[in-house]
Amino acid sequence: MMRIPDHTFRKVVRLLGETAATGKSHAEKKRFLMEGLCDLIGAECWVWALGAQVEAKKPQVFVGFLHGGFDEERFVRLLKAVEHPDMALIASRFGERIQETGAHTTMRRHEIDVDGKVARSPVGALWEEANIGPLMLSAHPLEENSVSMIGLYRGLDAEPFSELEKQVAHIILSEVPWLHLSGWPEDRGAQVPKLYPRERIVLNLLLDGMSRKEIAHQMSISENTVSGYAKGVYRHFGVSSHVELMRRFLHADAG
């Protein structure tokens, strides 16, 4: 393991201390931590979401995204890539590592996709459209076969994350178990995998605060189609409004 320079280690300790001390909600604490981490390791964008019913080599299902550095268009493209069926195989090495160790796991793109599967998949084009090049995933196992999942990203032409940057990210993100446990629904999203992929995209965009008109524009579908998806989502979770849906997923543990 590479030794972390003293000046970097002091920044790590300071960021962890300031995150714990700041008198904000769990979502604001997560955002504060991620913005500080991105400054430390030179990440351009980030997401933090709940991985529901995660199993290696099975379709990934994520919900409740916090994110920074993405505009609406890039975020929608990222969601489309996440929901692509090829992602189950592309990210299988990462899922297997989590299941094998049962511990917080951090890996870079070349460590996850060692065989270059992305280049042979439509996921590669989706990542390019979202201007995603180097990336790093970091996951904290939770109960109910779920994980607290974080993605850190750089643009297409950027340098890959270094081993030192990976270590810094792993130390910071593995030292905040209390944040990984906060902000998710009590059932850890157990019902989310039962939705169709497009319904899950609409769910996550609704949780991101987008209106149906905005979702229709970003997904290049009609507003009536979005309304149909939204009604199906509401019915699935037993809610009758956008506000109730937000409360169920994002304010279940306001912390």
Indicate if the pLDDT at residue 183 is higher than 60: yes
Q: Rounded mean pLDDT of 58-75?
A: 91
Is the model's pLDDT at 253 over the cut of 80? no
- Please identify, among 146, 180, 214, the residue that sits at the C-terminal boundary of a domain: 180
State mean pLDDT over 225-251.
91
Average pLDDT over residues 109-136: 95
Range 228-255 average pLDDT: 84
Q: Is residue 24 part of a domain?
A: yes
pLDDT reported for residue 185: 82
The CA distances from residue 61 to 49, 54, 214, 226, in Å, are 10, 7, 23, 20
| Structural domain count, the chain | 2
* pLDDT tens string 116-128: 999 999 999 999 9
Domain with 240 in it: what CATH number? 1.10.10.10
Q: What are phi and psi of 82, to 5 degrees?
A: -60, -40
255 lies in some domain: no
227 and 139 share one domain: no
Of residues 111 and 27, the one with the higher pLDDT is 111
Among residues 180, 207, 231, which one ends one of the domains?
Answer: 180
Q: Are residues 159 and 236 in the same domain?
A: no
Do residue 27 and residue 153 come from a single domain?
A: yes
Q: What contacts 24+ positions apart, CB below 8 Å, involve 15-24?
A: 15/40, 15/172, 16/172, 16/175, 16/176, 19/176, 19/179
Is the domain of 163 the same as that of 213? no
Residue 255 has pLDDT above 60, yes or no: no
Give the whole-angstrom CA distance, residue 218 versus residue 212: 10
Instruction: Give residue 231's domain range.
Output: 192-250
- Whether residue 204 is contained in a domain is answered as yes
Residue with tokens 């019913």: 53
Which of 148, 180, 212 is the C-terminal boundary of a domain?
180
The predicted-structure confidence for 201-235, as pLDDT tens digits, reads as follows 999 999 999 999 999 999 999 999 999 999 999 99
132 lies in the same domain as 228? no
Report the alpha-carbon distance of residue 184 to residue 49 in Å, rounded: 9
Does the structure show a pLDDT above 60 at 35? yes
CATH code of 173's domain: 3.30.450.80
Percent of the chain with pLDDT over 90: 81
Across 106-125, average pLDDT: 95
- Indicate the average pLDDT of the chain: 92
